[in-house]
């Protein structure tokens, strides 16, 4: 009996990986600078990505209170209101309103020399929808933004 159970368990382990569609984590690197800019204006996420891992690197030297950057993703139509609400959220909350459901994903707010990342499922994205990534540090959204396309 014990032998049969062992066989059953083994076959489960062997079969399980094929029972689900393969996960594909697509990695995106983006940098923020002391000149209040991102080094990318567009990010394309392929349709077969199941998750996206965005790594934000602050290549500058200025402190987070002076030139903090984050990477926030929302529908383009929600960008301005998310950024406005982020102003009053403060540095302690990464300049993102707590529990903001318009925010699809966001990183922490970082200063010069720091790196941070965020991972999110593409099930949160719709093909054909217009998405914008941006920085919600006060005054940055006008310059620090770009489009994200899925599919
Ligand atoms: Cu910024």
Tokens of 22: 């393969």
CA 55 / ligand 1 centre spacing (Å) = 14
Residue 133, φ and ψ in degrees, nearest 5: -105, 145
pLDDT in tens, 87-127: 999 999 999 999 999 999 999 999 999 999 999 999 999 99
CA 66 / ligand 1 centre spacing (Å) = 9
CA 137 / ligand 1 centre spacing (Å) = 5
Asked if residue 137 lies in contact with residue 68, where contact means CB atoms within 8 angstroms, the answer is yes
Task: List CB-based neighbours of ion ligand 1 within 5 Å.
Answer: 69, 135, 137, 140, 144
Examine the pLDDT at 141 and tell me if it is beyond 80.
Answer: yes
Asked if residue 95 lies in contact with residue 141, where contact means CB atoms within 8 angstroms, the answer is no
pLDDT in tens, 57-90: 999 999 999 999 999 999 999 999 999 999 999 9
Which pTM does this prediction carry? Answer: 0.86
The CA distance from 10 to 69, in Å, is 48
Decide: helix, strand or coil at residue 103: coil
């Amino acid at each position: 009996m014990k032998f049969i159970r062992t066989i059953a368990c083994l076959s489960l382990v062997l079969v399980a990986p094929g029972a689900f569609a393969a996960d594909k984590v697509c990695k995106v690197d983006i940098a923020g600078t002391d000149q209040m800019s991102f080094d990318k204006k567009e990010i394309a996420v392929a349709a077969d990505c199941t998750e996206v891992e965005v790594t934000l690197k602050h290549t500058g030297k200025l402190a987070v209170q002076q030139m903090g950057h984050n990477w926030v993703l929302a529908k383009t139509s929600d960008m301005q209101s998310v950024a406005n609400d982020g102003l009053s959220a403060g540095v302690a909350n990464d300049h993102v309103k707590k529990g903001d459901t318009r925010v699809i994903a966001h990183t922490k707010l970082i200063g010069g020399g720091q790196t941070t990342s965020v991972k999110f499922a593409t099930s949160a994205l719709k093909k054909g929808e217009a998405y914008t990534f941006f920085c919600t540090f006060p005054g940055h959204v006008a310059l620090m933004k770009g489009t994200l396309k899925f599919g």
